[in-house]
Amino acid sequence: MPVVELNGVRLNYVQMNCDSAGDDSCEDLVMIHGLCTSLAFWCLHHAQVFSRRYRLILYDLRGHGRSGMTDKGYSPENMAVDLRLLLDHLGIHRAHFLAHSFGGLVALKLACLNQERFSSLILADTHISAVRALEKSHEWKFGKLIQPILKKNELSIDYHEPYFGYRLLTEVARLQTKNHKFSSEVKPLLSPLLGQSGKRTAVKWLKLMDTTHAENEMMGDDRLSLERLRTLKFPILAMYGEHSQAMLTGEHLLDVWPHADFRRIRGAGHFFPTSRPKEMIANCEQFWNGALVGKHPIREGETKKSYFRSDRLYQQDDSWFFSTRESAEMGPFASEGEAKRCLTAYIAEMAMAGVS
């Protein structure tokens, strides 16, 4: 894979040609991974599908994957400079962006500096400092269910911590290097550290945390105020896992971006791009096709404002479920077809009972 030295760091990246006829006419899509992963985060499920319509640019964030590990420079603002200089190096002046978790902070910082470079942005489960500071008055509902799981797995961390996710990565990484056996409930929370290359990932993450200024810089104030984010006017899709702590940010962004589309991935946690890739891909493609933003009818009893929308049918592991309008979960069902039939029957039953 090619590398380039810029802004004091060696960045590893890869470009994938667009499969559509006439590659020169294809637009660019920049894909930005989150913490404790690498550009490989996008390779298994997403890159091949998205390259059918876009030229792809994937790269390893500073200190991740095959990119260099510097002593300093890990603030979202400086890593946005890394990205800007990489795009300049590649001659890309405008692109679509897809970013997960901390990668979303990098994308948002770049957008605040150079909004004209964005054709669109898909934000997947990004949590910002301005909302973390409000968490004492806004309860993370799913956190109460996670706490017993943490205790069971010898993870001494409180879900109330504003940077809970960052702390959890490090605690799990330390146990992973000691060959600790985790219960099955932990895997959805931290899939990058518990996969086939989990131990190698854990060692690299601990080196980053223990030998550089990354921890303090990443968990510092990202200086993304809600007022500044309000100035972003390009098309935005914000997707959040229903059970993720980052969902608190998504709820605040509803009032910040009235022009954006918001999607909730039901029953999913922070790493839904890899745990629920089909839903992720479907939502992205609908957004790029212009089928989401501004297309939702206003239902009786609703005011005209932004809402989180969700698919009625969804899959978790090998089971299927559907949700009611009141957000009750119905299932599990053995197949998608069975879930559809039961949903149809449920809707008919509600109609006969006079429930809209």
Tell me: the pLDDT tens digits for 83-135? 999 999 999 999 999 999 999 999 999 999 999 999 999 999 999 988 876 65
Amino acid letter, residue 284: C
Would you say residue 152 has pLDDT above 80?
yes
The structure's pTM equals 0.88
Element (H, E) at 317: none
Core vs surface per residue 199-238: b (16+ CB within 10 A) or e: bebbebbbebbeebebbebbeeebebeeeebeebebbbbb
As a whole number of angstroms, the distance between CA 26 and CA 106 comes to: 24
Tell me: the pLDDT tens digits for 266-288? 888 999 999 899 999 999 999 99
Confidence at 139, pLDDT banded by 50, 70, 90: confident
Tell me: the pLDDT tens digits for 157-204? 888 888 888 999 999 999 989 988 888 888 777 777 777 778 899 999
pLDDT of residue 297: 43
Would you say residue 294 has pLDDT above 90?
no
Tell me: the pLDDT tens digits for 305-340? 678 887 777 777 778 777 777 667 788 888 888 877
Contact 173, 205 (CB under 8 A): yes
Domains parsed from the chain with CATH numbers: 3-135+223-310 (3.40.50.1820), 143-218 (no CATH), 312-356 (no CATH)
Contact 73, 8 (CB under 8 A): yes
Give whole-number Cα distances, 309 to 63, 123, 254, in Å.
Answer: 35, 15, 11
Beta strands 319-323 and 329-333, pairing class: antiparallel
Amino acid letter, residue 15: Q
Amino acid letter, residue 252: H
As a whole number of angstroms, the distance between CA 258 and CA 261 comes to: 8
How high is the mean pLDDT of the chain? 87
pLDDT of residue 21: 56
